[in-house]
Amino acid sequence: MHRLLLLGSLCLLVAPPALSIFQRPTGSPAPPGLQYLLEPLHAAVHTQRGATATLPCVLRALPRNYRVKWSKVEPANYRESIIIITNGLYHKNYGPLSPRVRLRHSHRYDASLTITDVALEDEGRYRCQLVNGLEDESVSLTLHLEGVVFPYQPSNGRYKFNYHEAKRACEQQDSRLATYQQLYKAWTDGLDWCNAGWILDGTVHYPIINSREPCGGRLLLPGVRTYGARDKQKDRFDAFCFTSALQGQVYFIRGHLNFKEAGQACRNHGATIAKVGQLYSAWKFSQLDRCDGGWLADGSVRYPITTPRERCGGLPDPGVRSFGFPSKELRTYGTYCFAG
């Protein structure tokens, strides 16, 4: 249920209607349903984790007794969470985004929302709503993070996560459950995976580039196959995680280390043993390319390949290769460390 939150004792701006410098040319009709808000030039804003992003919302004119309300549509439950409300003179922030949001307010008609230190969970659809009695109107924008989607399963095999466990597993690996849009883009970029996994909205999918017998058969067309919505408590699948750019560096330490020694080697360098999401991020954004298997924080052994070659797994496409979850006592691998 949506609640309309007021600004309490804050005074409302009272001003006569005024034409703005953004007045449309004579004879040019306003977009359908929009009298006071300008239609944004672009419906999507692209950014990375850790950056500062601004979602534009500009008024044509200042109506009487107006407020502008920014909210975010949460993909997990489709509810709107209020972020900020302003009356042009004062504003009030709400919710977990509160410490990182402000109004750009570069001029008197500007109600654009600026988000600092963008986090993975900030991706999604935002709404700028002008509240003006019976003339309420709004524009919607989408904040897209550049990133990478990767399938994830635990050490005890595939199809072990219920929805809540999958969500927690991604967060433990410096990532979050992917949205359908993120998974679809990953498929268009070449992600081909036969195991079904949870995504953020509680549905289950798997992306197929090369149709084959174990993955629905050869007759089905390539695409993002879906199992639809599943029971979040009882049904068990893998997870599709999403991560974005790092504020730090992933690097490799060579050696013949067991898992415990790998963690200590990273700490000796003032770092921590890298998480799976951090390795994928370094591969995607820093072009980390190593032929050496290394321990990661979840006990798996992986290595990132940017330039495929015969002696590094022999696979034709770039990617993060996996040796699975070997015995933690095995002294065969080096380690990947993360320095933030």
155: containing domain = 147-243
Asked if the structure places residue 15 within a domain, the reply is no
Q: Does residue 294 sit in the same domain as residue 311?
A: yes
pLDDT value of position 14:
29
Q: Is 173 in the same domain as 254?
A: no
- Whether residue 28 is contained in a domain is answered as no
219-267 pLDDT, tens digit per residue, is 888 999 999 999 999 999 999 999 999 989 999 999 999 999 999 999 9
Q: What's this model's pTM, rounded to 2 decimal places?
A: 0.84
Number of domains present in the structure of the chain: 3
pLDDT number for residue 134: 67
Which of 89, 116, 145 terminates a domain? The answer is 145
On whether residue 17 sits in a domain, the answer given is no
**Are 151 and 239 in the same domain?**
yes
In a domain, 235, yes or no: yes
116 and 216, same domain (yes or no): no
**Three-class secondary structure assignment of 60-125:** CCCCCCCEEEEEEECCCCCCEEEEEEECCCCEEECCCCHHHEEECCCCCCECCEEECCCCHHHCEE
Residues 276, 218, single domain; the answer is no
Domain boundary pick from 219, 243, 267: 243
Share of the chain above pLDDT 70, in %: 89
Q: Which long-range contacts (CB under 8 A, 24 or more apart) does 75-80 make?
A: 75/124, 75/179, 75/200, 75/201, 76/200, 76/201, 76/202, 79/2, 80/2, 80/127
What pLDDT is attached to residue 32? Answer: 56
Q: Is residue 25 part of a domain?
A: no
Give me the pLDDT at residue 2, please.
Answer: 36
Task: Select from 93, 113, 145 the last residue of a domain.
Answer: 145
Give the CATH number, domain containing residue 158.
Answer: 3.10.100.10
CATH code where residue 79 lies: 2.60.40.10
Give the residues of the chain that fall short of pLDDT 50: 1-30
| 119 and 62 inside one domain | yes
* 138 and 43 both lie in a single domain: yes
